[in-house]
Amino acid sequence: MGAYKVRSAAFESIGNARFLLSKDIINIINGIFILLRLREMLPEEDLRTASTIFNALGSVVRLRILKMLIETKKPLHIKAVARNLDMDYAAIYRHVHVLRTARLLEVFEVGRSRVLTPRKPDLISELMQKTRDIHA
């Protein structure tokens, strides 16, 4: 009789293991469905675009460049931006490249000069305001 109880207990634990395994599979499947729904809501391309934009906005220098361009309400030459921020042209140019890649500003070539203007300045200003709201 003692051997029977041992076998019975082993079978129950195997049965519980099967139940837990089935439960885990259901949780995994539910997780996959949630991920698929999220993927539909935020396609991979949108996530990459958001990442590029937030990366570009992740530098105080780049934010200063955008703020300066928005406040002046006119295109500025890269040299003027560098002079106003007391930085060298090459450093500003690298920051401008990041902002341009994120499509936050446009660069126009006028002769041998490069002139900067923000794309969608109202949206950029609104986004900066939202960051104040989040931080408050």
Query: Where do the structural domains in the chain lie, given as residue ranges?
Result: 2-41, 49-135
Cα distances from 64 to residues 47, 96, 136, in angstroms, run 25, 11, 21
The β-bridge partners of 110 are 113
Residue 111, sorted as left (phi over 0), alpha (psi -120 to 50) or beta, turns out to be left
Burial class (CB in 10 A: 0-12, 13-18, 19+), 61: middle
pLDDT digits (tens, 9 = 90+) for 112-126: 889 999 999 998 888
pLDDT digits (tens, 9 = 90+) for 24-64: 566 666 666 676 666 666 677 777 888 888 888 888 999 99
Q: Are strands 105-110 and 113-118 parallel, antiparallel or unpaired?
A: antiparallel
Give 49-135's CATH code, choosing from 3.40.50.300, 3.90.190.10, 3.10.310.40, 1.10.10.10: 1.10.10.10
